[in-house]
Chain A
Amino acid sequence: AQSVTQLGSHVSVSEGALVLLRCNYSSSVPPYLFWYVQYPNQGLQLLLKYTSAATLVKGINGFEAEFKKSETSFHLTKPSAHMSDAAEYFCAVRGGNQFYFGTGTSLTVIP
């Protein structure tokens, strides 16, 4: 069975500071992992995805994530936070016909 765990339901960073959102996965097979962002009253938008081609994945809006099999992690980072990054972030793993989502991390950016 596949699942993901997001550590930290709320994260606050100062504008310009490093963003680190944590995701650990559990999967019985090589995982396909995704990060989605959800802005208020909008649908989920794909930030990036890991499909085993490369362990460091670059996504939109300056985000990237590194797949670490030894740590079963797929943490999301961005070197410098922008006010527009404030949103809810979801990590997900593909299992069969569906995605299994984490409980989400709400990112607040402090001016």
Chain B
Amino acid sequence: GAGVSQTPSNKVTEKGKYVELRCDPISGHTALYWYRQSLGQGPEFLIYFQGTGAADDSGLPNDRFFAVRPEGSVSTLKIQRTERGDSAVYLCASSTRGGAAYNEQFFGPGTRLTVL
């Protein structure tokens, strides 16, 4: 079956611009996660959705970052007034449900964002 997909695979933008990154989770997965992976680092948590609602957004670095999941499936990560420090690979993951601690998260290939 299809895995987690993310579009675009690469995004180059200029400082100050607005960008949207899309994640299409595995069908039927109710839990969705966004992570950011900077060069040479492990993924860092940004936000977690259970269904349509953001159950935990404690990892969002500031109010320029926002994410939505209006129908409980596809999610969009939105970054306003991009800064060079936002350059990273943004990873999306989904899971059958978020509550069980041992549940595996299935990761997409990521979107590489470069802010010039």
Indicate whether A51 sits within 8 Å of B43 (C-beta atoms), given known contacts A41-B109, A97-B48, A98-B33: no
Interface centre among B3, B43, B48 (most CB of A within 10 A): B43
How many residues of B sit at the interface, in one of the four size bands?
20 to 34
Partner of B105, one of A41, A99, A100, A104: A99
Asked if A98 meets B45 with Cβ closer than 8 Å, knowing A43-B4, A51-B102, the reply is yes
Contact between chains at A44 and B91 (CB < 8 Å): yes
Judge whether A102 and B107 touch: CB under 8 Å.
no
Q: Residue B110 at the A interface, CB < 8 A?
A: yes
Q: Which residues of B contact A9 (CB under 8 A)?
A: 40
Asked if residues A103 and B109 are in contact (CB atoms below 8 Å), the reply is: no
Which residues of A34-70 are within 8 A (CB) of B? 34, 36, 41-46, 49, 51
Please tell me if the beta carbons of B40 and A43 are within 8 angstroms of each other in the complex.
Answer: no
Output the nearest chain A residue to B48 by Cβ-Cβ distance: A97
CB neighbours of A102 from chain B (8 A): 42
Cβ of B89 to closest chain A Cβ, rounded Å: 10
Chain B residues, CB < 8 A from A25: none
Residue interface bits A79-104, CB-to-B below 8 A is 1, else 0: 00000000000101010111111111
Bitwise interface map of A from 13 to 35 toward B, beta carbon under 8 Å scored 1, else 0: 00000000000000000001010
B41 touches A103 (CB 8 A): yes
Chain B proximity of A93: nearest CB distance (Å): 10
Q: How far is the CA of A32 from the CA of B98 in the complex (A)?
A: 14
Contact across chains for B104 and A46 when beta carbons are under 8 A apart: yes
Q: In the bound complex, do residue A43 and residue B41 qualify as a contact, i.e. CB atoms below 8 Å apart?
A: no
Given that A32-B102, A104-B42 are known contacts, is A98 also in contact with B59, CB under 8 Å in the complex? Answer: yes
14 contacts between A and B (CB under 8 A): A43-B108, A44-B93, A46-B105, A51-B101, A51-B102, A90-B43, A92-B42, A97-B45, A97-B48, A97-B56, A98-B48, A98-B56, A101-B44, A103-B40
